[in-house]
Structure 1
Amino acid sequence: MYLFVGLKEQLETYLDKEQVAQIQDAYIVARDAHAGQLRSSGDPYITHPVAVARILSEYHFDPQTIMAALLHDVIEDCDVTKEELAEKFGTQVADLVEGVSKLTQIKFRTRAEAQAENFRKMMMAMVQDIRVILIKLADRLHNMRTLGSLKPEKRRRIANETLEIYAPIALRLGMYGIRSELEDLGFSARYPMRYRVLKESVKKARGNRKEIINTIIDNIQQRLEADVLHARVVGREKDLFSIYRKMKEKRTSLTDVMDVYAFRVICDTEDTCYRILGFLHSLYIPIPGRFKDYIAIPKANGYQSLHTTLKGPHGLHIEVQIRTDSMDQMAENGVAAHWLYKSNNDSNPAELKAREWMKSLMELQNRAGDSMEFIENVKIDLFPDEVFVFTPNGSIIVLPHGATPVDFAYAIHTDVGNSCIASKINRQIMPLSTPLVNGSTVEIITAPGAKPNPSWLSFVITGKARANIRHFLKNLRLDEALKLGERLLDQALGDKSLDDYDDDLKQSIAKKTRHKNFDEVLTEIGLGRLAAIVIAHRLLPEEESVVDDDVSNKKPMAIRGTEGLLVSYAKCCHPIPYEPIVAFVSAGRGIIIHRADCNNVAKHQADDHKYMPVQWEEGIQGEFTIELRVVVFNDRGVLAKVTSVIAEAEANIVNIDIDQQDGTTNALNFTMTVRDRVHLANIIRLVRKHKFVNKITRSK
């Protein structure tokens, strides 16, 4: 229980004894479930969930969240079920634990796909209960703090994921404190050398700045006290990662970044914020275009503050943020401030903004085709910069920097976006691709029956606009593909028509090709993913009246060469006439013929939707490429003798490669053309009868 002592002391500062006892029960279950498990550092695994719970307890989270934090890995890593958790601790805790658990039971083709699906699940769980993402952020924060014991490659991968996804989510939820630590830890793990160099340089630069900073703070403080304004002034240090990012984005030196001095003035009321702004502008000259009022128009994550940039003593630039105590607490803690600073209000601004964002996530999820598309759209929405534009009736719409009237239209409503044909910016007709700027009034002109244009995807910025345009075009494309597939199949059937076959046979073919229905088969043909000739062959069995589950009773399609069909011969095995063959149906490449014993198809021929039986047409003529490997002893003129034999057998040599082997033998790799199997057998027989030939094989 020694691990629980520190957490218990923290919990007792804001929870009653009964609630702490419940959490202690959850700790015991987690400790027993993780018994014998160790972290990469060698510490007992239970230290991790306890650390996550401690991070959350600092924000005074409710007992259910703390219990879920302690139990967040038991479903994934231990033999504990959701039902058992629900029985012991209630459905709320069980749902939270399930939401945080990773999606490990599904196998994905790539690591990126697996991460995208985990992320999608996490986002959807967050929509149900925002505490899921807060537990996940605390989990990631502790993992980042203990990253040192992992291999460098894994450290970089986790750090990259943290900087790309988790830090922006913390920012989106208004949690600047956690976001700042995640970025600092992620930066040091992702770019350790850059981090060390920058840290040393910043430390040296800051040492020389102390006197200037203290002078500016004294000047501001004296000016405020003279006007009887109660506020405190603090020097604000930029994070290493934000310095690095600014240097990278603006391609500027550290000296230029460090020439900007940042301060924060914290007062008691909103009215005082504006009064302080006036006094500061009379003390130092404000720089035009560098003032932002996030109190009147809060950021998308609920952040509120006045920002201004001034020209200070010696021409130095001074950035100042002016905010109230409650705004400062909200800026640091965001959504978590709901638990930390409970008041009569049920929701804080950050939480209301977070709920609006989660509502938009649900729409993105419904429109996205797959997890990769969903994560791409969400990443687009985790933007750092915003523009504020107005509707004609004066409502404010917040959009990411670079957004266009099309993004604006979709932000108002999906139907407005879909039927948009033109836009007016400040009463002037402007192209739909025009980037919007702060303070513009935007009016969207719509028309009934109008449709999204595919070219919009080249300039829209928001995930909502992108997802809706793709969704509309996808459905439109599928309808057109269905009609095209029907025409192509009718053409492949020749004298017959698709209407000549009954629905049972069509459904049977759809099932065998792993599609839900025959319309889906036609759509796949129209999209070029399925060859019409393959489905035509399946519709033409020897006995049309019999619908049999076994497709083997159908006569194999005859291969006549390349006329009338997109047919190619596999370069891995080089089939030739009258050998047993099988056809692989490739999207966009037509039919590829392999030898039946080819290693590349041997394991996969059971896939009816990709392979089909074929046979050579009687009397087929032509030249077919094969590869022959002849291992010969090192005799003088041996290459000339072998090529002479092959030429006399009426075969055309296309290419020769020579591999030197053990000094006594060489391997001659011939690429040549033959007429058929008999012709090849004759060549092999003629070559093999010479004494200098050690071994002769054909590639498989």
Structure 2
Amino acid sequence: MIGADDLVGLVRKYNPKTDETMLRAAYEFGREMHDGQTRHSGEPYFSHPVAVAAILTEQQLDDATIVTALLHDTIEDTRASYNAVAERFGSEVADLVDGVTKLTNLQLSSTETQQAENFRKLFMAMSKDMRVILVKLADRLHNMRTIKAMRPDKQLKKARETMDIFAPLAGRMGMQWMREELEDLAFQVINPEARISIMRRFITLQREAGDVIERITGDMRHELDEAGIEAEILGRAKKPYSIWRKMQEKQMGFSRLSDIYGFRVITEGEEDCYRVLWAIHHRWRAVPGRFKDYISQPKSNGYRSIHTTVSGRDGKRVEVQIRTRQMHEVAETGVAAHWSYRDGERAENPFAVDPAKWIASLTEQFDEEDHDAFLEAVKLEMYADKVFCFTPKGDVVKLPRGATPIDFAYAIHTRIGHACVGAKIDGMRVPLWTRIKNGQSVEVITADGQTPQATWLDIATTGKARSAIRRALRELDRDRYIRLGRELARSAFEHVGKKPTDKALDRAAKTLRLKNRGEVLARLGSAELTAAQVLNAVYPDLAPETGQEVGRDRAVVGLAPDQRFERAPCCQPLPGERIVGITYRGKGVVVHAIDCESLQAFEDQPERWIDLHWHSGRHAAVYVVTLDVTVGNDAGVLGRICTLIGEQKANISDLTFVDRKPDFYRLLVDIELRDAEHLHGLISVLDAESDVAAIERFRDPAQGTVGAAEPSLA
């Protein structure tokens, strides 16, 4: 474990004006608080915070961040409190330590809904002070470096979380070295056999080909000397995980990979970068499609560099990154460069990004009320590469790789997106689903009266576009959804003997943090909220239990103990719908929906009517409902429809084709469902599918009149 003197020495190297007294006090306080605690390896626990602090000194961060690293587990794992830390080290450090503690408690790899909310909390913490996430990333890096001491199941969980969340986040912040190390450490746990195999092949390659890096570096050095360019050349083999990922993407073996070496050329001035590029391209042939100029078009995290790939010695592909020393500092530390110190002063790097503006660029497009869109947009920001395209006036628009003209239109302005009817790329009319490529010029064609189409959700890729389309569609269907939501709310509230009054719905809106009761009903009708959630928001003590399913034998309330029931085949009533029973000989009851047309046949037999209602709670998915669906006659359509039904946790019990046409066919699908909400959610999902032309619930009144004159239970 690094001692206090050694840690102070590491900080003093880049910050001679460091507050040594505070560093030593934090060191002693942390050691005292963690006294007696050990890690899984048996080492003193305090060795971990010290190692995290040492990692942050490599990024030349300020005293407050180093002190936070030393204390980052004290509030969570020791008797120390926020007030105690604030009293000794100030509110700035206490807020940072508290922020790291809250991040540690976030379950970022939980369910989708929780994950969306927790990602929002993560970005909120980052927006308050970026140093919180810098400490958390260093904390995760040291934990991954020492992960072998943990149980195998814990190792795997941590490794997957690191690969899915922390490594991409480090990369998005511009800390590429940390991303690569986190990925490789996680790869070592997730797929150790693959990593060992790649390492062995590397050893074999070096034995057969010699030191390729030294030879190529020498060749580059010669070319730059000939051109009179002063520059530093750094060469390295790529990390095993980077190679493995490339093998998976290109579906080829190690022996066929050629660009497994990377080189960086670091110059003093920006002009020299382009001189180096000329010298390298003059000596070696450039690989088409592998050139990117991030100096003229920087990434949003401040990254600047020229990337090119050339055919080097023996035809081997070599990736080269060319940048100035200041650009290199930002490339190594990313957004953290904003806090870097040199000679006791905050380093003034013109390429360092203001963290507040960087966070704003990430979050400005997110719909605060749409968790799914937020999570989708965050993941796009963290994982997607960018393409640069141009407006007809020459303005640059940055979009994720795979973006379409729909995304481009919404990136310009939401109004332009809503009115889009077509697009031109490089002057040629193209379909809206066309993928935009780097350097293309895009023109959006608009028309008055145009409104967003549901099929655009299948075309758009950016969170901003998809969120705007969803909002527009929600507004277009708002009246219909409100009417349906009101009916669903009425049914759910009646189950517990209540009514969905305006006052009750206002309370639900306040509890659910929605604008008003209309928004509650609209979201209930569009299946974004469940009736149980609305009911729970108003009457949490009366909300139906969701842990145990209601069995079919006790699904209907109002029957005599010896009576059994069957659902009427004409209307196929579901839990959540108002029902009435018709008695038959043998003490049986057939249950109809209250609006079933077949009930007219029993109007002159009031003695056979029984007032019934469904049992409150979560029902088993055993109630068959028939859907009348018209779909496009195209390859794979039926498979996609069946997959969508399965994804909604519904089961197809029968399927009948009733009409076939060259372009469309109509079919009746029997599906086992839980209740009316389940049905509505399923219809909403299928109706949004572009290949579904029409969908409605199938009812046959003729099947309900059998036995009207002479009772007999079928």
Alignment TM-score, normalising by the size of structure 1: 0.70
- Equivalent residue for 1:369? 370
- Equivalent residue for 1:44? 44
- Equivalent residue for 1:578? 560
Name the CA distance, whole Å, in 2 between partners of 1:221 and 1:106: 49
Q: Which one is further off, 106-115 or 129-138?
A: 106-115
1:152 is displaced (CA, Å) by 1.4
Name the CA distance, whole Å, in 1 between partners of 2:218 and 2:98: 53
Name the CA distance, whole Å, in 2 between partners of 1:393 and 1:467: 27
- Equivalent residue for 1:157? 157
- Equivalent residue for 1:92? 92
- Equivalent residue for 2:668? none
AA aligned to 2:54 is R
8 Å Cα contact 2:12-2:18 kept in structure 1: no
8 Å Cα contact 1:175-1:331 kept in structure 2: yes
8 Å Cα contact 1:309-1:318 kept in structure 2: yes
Name the CA distance, whole Å, in 2 between partners of 1:266 and 1:336: 20
- Equivalent residue for 1:297? 297
8 Å Cα contact 2:82-2:98 kept in structure 1: yes
Q: Secondary structure at the match of 1:235?
A: strand
The alpha-carbon distance between structure 1 residues 103 and 590, as it changes in their structure 2 partners (threshold 3 A), is farther
- Equivalent residue for 1:77? 77
8 Å Cα contact 1:531-1:590 kept in structure 2: no
Q: How does 1:405-416 map to 2 (within 5 A)?
A: 405-416=405-416
The alpha-carbon distance between structure 1 residues 326 and 488, as it changes in their structure 2 partners (threshold 3 A), is closer
1:168 is displaced (CA, Å) by 1.4
Q: How does 1:137-156 map to 2 (within 5 A)?
A: 137-156=137-156
Q: Which one is further off, 294-303 or 523-532?
A: 523-532
Name the CA distance, whole Å, in 2 between partners of 1:515 and 1:329: 48
8 Å Cα contact 1:103-1:117 kept in structure 2: no
Query: What is the aligned counterpart of 1:349 among 341, 348, 351?
Result: 351
Q: What fraction of aligned residue pairs are identical, expressed as a percent?
A: 40
Q: Secondary structure at the match of 2:59?
A: coil
8 Å Cα contact 1:580-1:615 kept in structure 2: no
Cα deviations by residue, 1:460-517 (Å, 9 ceiling, x for unpaired): 2223323333344445555431133457889999xxxxxxxx9995535876999777
Name the CA distance, whole Å, in 2 between partners of 1:57 and 1:424: 51
AA aligned to 1:403 is A
The alpha-carbon distance between structure 1 residues 510 and 327, as it changes in their structure 2 partners (threshold 3 A), is closer
Name the CA distance, whole Å, in 2 between partners of 1:356 and 1:580: 70
Q: Secondary structure at the match of 1:307?
A: strand
Q: Secondary structure at the match of 2:177?
A: helix
The alpha-carbon distance between structure 1 residues 133 and 418, as it changes in their structure 2 partners (threshold 3 A), is farther
The alpha-carbon distance between structure 1 residues 100 and 575, as it changes in their structure 2 partners (threshold 3 A), is same
1:297 is displaced (CA, Å) by 1.8
- Equivalent residue for 1:241? 241
8 Å Cα contact 1:569-1:575 kept in structure 2: no
- Equivalent residue for 1:670? none
AA aligned to 2:29 is V
Name the CA distance, whole Å, in 1 between partners of 2:102 and 2:221: 51
AA aligned to 2:274 is Y
8 Å Cα contact 1:122-1:132 kept in structure 2: no
Instruction: Count matched residues.
Output: 563
Alignment TM-score, normalising by the size of structure 2: 0.69
1:249 is displaced (CA, Å) by 0.5
AA aligned to 2:27 is Y
The alpha-carbon distance between structure 1 residues 9 and 623, as it changes in their structure 2 partners (threshold 3 A), is same
Name the CA distance, whole Å, in 2 between partners of 1:107 and 1:144: 17
Name the CA distance, whole Å, in 2 between partners of 1:580 and 1:96: 67
Cα deviations by residue, 1:585-641 (Å, 9 ceiling, x for unpaired): xxxx9765xxxxxxxxxxxxxxxxx999x999999965489xxxxxxxxxxxxxxxx
Name the CA distance, whole Å, in 1 between partners of 2:582 and 2:109: 39
The alpha-carbon distance between structure 1 residues 436 and 611, as it changes in their structure 2 partners (threshold 3 A), is closer
- Equivalent residue for 2:222? 222
The alpha-carbon distance between structure 1 residues 419 and 72, as it changes in their structure 2 partners (threshold 3 A), is farther
Name the CA distance, whole Å, in 1 between partners of 2:475 and 2:37: 49
- Equivalent residue for 1:127? 127
8 Å Cα contact 2:258-2:316 kept in structure 1: no
Cα deviations by residue, 1:32-86 (Å, 9 ceiling, x for unpaired): 3333333222222222222111111222211111122222223333344434433
Q: Which one is further off, 55-64 or 203-212?
A: 203-212
The alpha-carbon distance between structure 1 residues 414 and 621, as it changes in their structure 2 partners (threshold 3 A), is farther
Residue 67 (1) aligns with residue 67 (2):
yes
Cα deviations by residue, 1:234-293 (Å, 9 ceiling, x for unpaired): 333111111000000100110122465543333222222222222222222333333322
- Equivalent residue for 1:507? 503
8 Å Cα contact 2:423-2:432 kept in structure 1: yes
1:308 is displaced (CA, Å) by 2.6
AA aligned to 2:195 is Y
Name the CA distance, whole Å, in 2 between partners of 1:78 and 1:478: 52
Q: Secondary structure at the match of 2:353?
A: helix
Name the CA distance, whole Å, in 1 between partners of 2:349 and 2:200: 42
Q: Secondary structure at the match of 1:303?
A: coil
Name the CA distance, whole Å, in 2 between partners of 1:433 and 1:580: 61
The alpha-carbon distance between structure 1 residues 523 and 150, as it changes in their structure 2 partners (threshold 3 A), is same
Q: Secondary structure at the match of 1:29?
A: helix
8 Å Cα contact 2:175-2:331 kept in structure 1: yes
1:188 is displaced (CA, Å) by 0.6
The alpha-carbon distance between structure 1 residues 509 and 454, as it changes in their structure 2 partners (threshold 3 A), is closer
1:580 is displaced (CA, Å) by 11
8 Å Cα contact 2:485-2:521 kept in structure 1: yes
AA aligned to 2:351 is P
1:90 is displaced (CA, Å) by 2.5
The alpha-carbon distance between structure 1 residues 209 and 367, as it changes in their structure 2 partners (threshold 3 A), is farther
| RMSD between superposed Cα atoms in Å | 4.3
Q: Which one is further off, 513-522 or 193-202?
A: 513-522
Cα deviations by residue, 1:635-686 (Å, 9 ceiling, x for unpaired): xxxxxxxxxxxxxxxxxxxxxxxxxxxxxxxxxxxxxxxxxxxxxxxxxxxx
8 Å Cα contact 1:424-1:430 kept in structure 2: yes
The alpha-carbon distance between structure 1 residues 457 and 63, as it changes in their structure 2 partners (threshold 3 A), is same
Q: Secondary structure at the match of 1:266?
A: strand
Unaligned runs of 5+ in 1: 494-501, 536-547, 552-567, 584-588, 593-609, 626-700
- Equivalent residue for 2:441? 441
Name the CA distance, whole Å, in 2 between partners of 1:11 and 1:322: 29
- Equivalent residue for 1:465? 465
8 Å Cα contact 1:367-1:467 kept in structure 2: no
The alpha-carbon distance between structure 1 residues 199 and 355, as it changes in their structure 2 partners (threshold 3 A), is farther
Cα deviations by residue, 1:203-244 (Å, 9 ceiling, x for unpaired): 221333335544433333223223322223333311111100
- Equivalent residue for 2:636? none
- Equivalent residue for 2:205? 205
AA aligned to 1:360 is S
8 Å Cα contact 1:291-1:308 kept in structure 2: yes
AA aligned to 1:452 is P
- Equivalent residue for 2:392? 392
Q: Secondary structure at the match of 2:19?
A: helix
Q: How does 1:202-351 map to 2 (within 5 A)?
A: 202-258=202-258, 261-340=261-340, 348-351=350-353
Name the CA distance, whole Å, in 1 between partners of 2:137 and 2:123: 12
AA aligned to 2:222 is Q
1:330 is displaced (CA, Å) by 2.4
Name the CA distance, whole Å, in 1 between partners of 2:227 and 2:313: 21
Residue 358 (1) aligns with residue 339 (2):
no
8 Å Cα contact 1:368-1:471 kept in structure 2: no
1:144 is displaced (CA, Å) by 0.7
AA aligned to 1:192 is P
1:103 is displaced (CA, Å) by 6.0
1:181 is displaced (CA, Å) by 1.2
8 Å Cα contact 1:294-1:304 kept in structure 2: yes
The alpha-carbon distance between structure 1 residues 44 and 387, as it changes in their structure 2 partners (threshold 3 A), is same
- Equivalent residue for 1:541? none
